[in-house]
């Protein structure tokens, strides 16, 4: 991925373009035997590259430690596709404010993540499937639906330093129907950049609240698999 391409996605999340880019090392992303490589991802309109978020799991499909979720570049513009770790600067817009284990369940665990530039808590439920593989499903508040599966966030860029709108994509747990919530910029927190007011502004959902809301929710049949 070129510096300008990394810069564009950084601008989409709210960092803006920095004069110096610290390159990531290509092909240095490794997955364990029980990890889920993509739980949700962030993409943008200027190319096919995106930032994926995976989770490291043990043999019981329980997150390993309190830094189990990790972000990395999935560069579809390269042939073959290149996976590379986030650089030091990349971690400013795409890094974590907080994350940790909420509780273990009979078949996995409940985990939470707060991204630095994301205005709400993301809950992740992990589960051991009947075939022994691990699955992980991200949950967050999406539009007026309430808590739903979070699949991805898409940023429509209006220039190298600005975002026209943000699309949040998810699935309804009850019906499996896709959910799309489009907002103007400002849904993501800004770091040194100007954004417009957000039409859908929700308070941060506390980890305990999310855990109580999702603990009895059915796992989505289309949850991410490794």
Averaged pLDDT for residues 15-35 = 62
pLDDT of residue 186: 45
* 186 CB neighbour count, 10 Å cutoff: 20
pLDDT band for 160, please (50, 70, 90 cuts).
low
- Confidence at residue 53, expressed as pLDDT on a 0 to 100 scale: 98
Return the pLDDT at 155.
83
Q: What are phi and psi of 124, to 5 degrees?
A: -125, 125
Q: Is the per-residue pLDDT at 177 higher than 80? A: yes
| Percent above pLDDT 90 for the chain | 49
Mean pLDDT of the chain: 76
pLDDT at 118: 77
Residues 6+ apart with CB under 8 A from 105: 125, 127, 215
Whether the Cβ atoms of residue 57 and residue 35 lie closer than 8 Å to each other:
yes
Confidence of residue 200 (pLDDT cuts 50, 70, 90): very low
Does 25 or 196 have the greater pLDDT score?
25
Cβ-based burial of 168 (10 A; exposed 0-12, middle 13-18, buried ≥19): buried
Give dist(CA 106, CA 62) in Å, integer. 10
The 10s digit of each residue's pLDDT in 109-130 is 999 999 987 778 999 999 999 9
More confident residue, 125 or 5: 125
Q: Is the pLDDT of residue 63 over 80?
A: yes
Q: Is the predicted pLDDT of residue 208 greater than 70, yes or no?
A: no
Q: Are 124 and 69 in contact (CB under 8 A)?
A: yes
Band of the pLDDT at 185, cuts 50, 70, 90?
Answer: low
Question: Measured between alpha carbons, how far is 20 from 183 in angstroms, rounded to an integer?
Answer: 30
pLDDT of residue 10: 54
């Amino acid at each position: 991925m070129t510096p300008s391409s990394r810069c564009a996605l950084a601008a989409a999340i709210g960092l803006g373009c920095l004069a110096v880019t610290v390159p990531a090392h290509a092909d240095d992303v490794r997955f364990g035997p029980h990890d889920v490589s993509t739980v949700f991802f962030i993409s943008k309109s200027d190319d096919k590259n995106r930032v994926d978020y995976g989770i490291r799991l043990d043999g019981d499909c329980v997150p390993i430690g309190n830094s189990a979720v990790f972000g990395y570049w999935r560069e579809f513009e390269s042939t073959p596709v290149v996976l590379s770790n986030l650089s030091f600067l990349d971690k400013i817009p795409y890094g974590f404010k907080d994350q940790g284990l909420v509780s273990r369940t009979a078949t996995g665990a409940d985990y939470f993540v707060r991204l630095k530039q994301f205005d709400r808590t993301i809950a992740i439920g992990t589960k051991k499937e009947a075939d022994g593989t691990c699955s992980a499903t991200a949950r967050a508040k999406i539009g007026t639906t309430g808590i739903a599966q979070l699949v991805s966030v898409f940023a429509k860029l209006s220039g190298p330093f600005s975002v026209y709108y943000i699309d949040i994509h998810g699935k309804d747990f009850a019906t499996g129907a896709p959910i799309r919530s489009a907002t103007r910029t400002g849904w993501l927190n800004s770091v040194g950049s100007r954004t417009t007011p957000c039409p859908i502004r929700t308070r941060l959902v506390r980890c305990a609240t999310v855990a109580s809301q999702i603990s009895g929710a059915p796992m989505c049949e289309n949850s991410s698999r490794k």
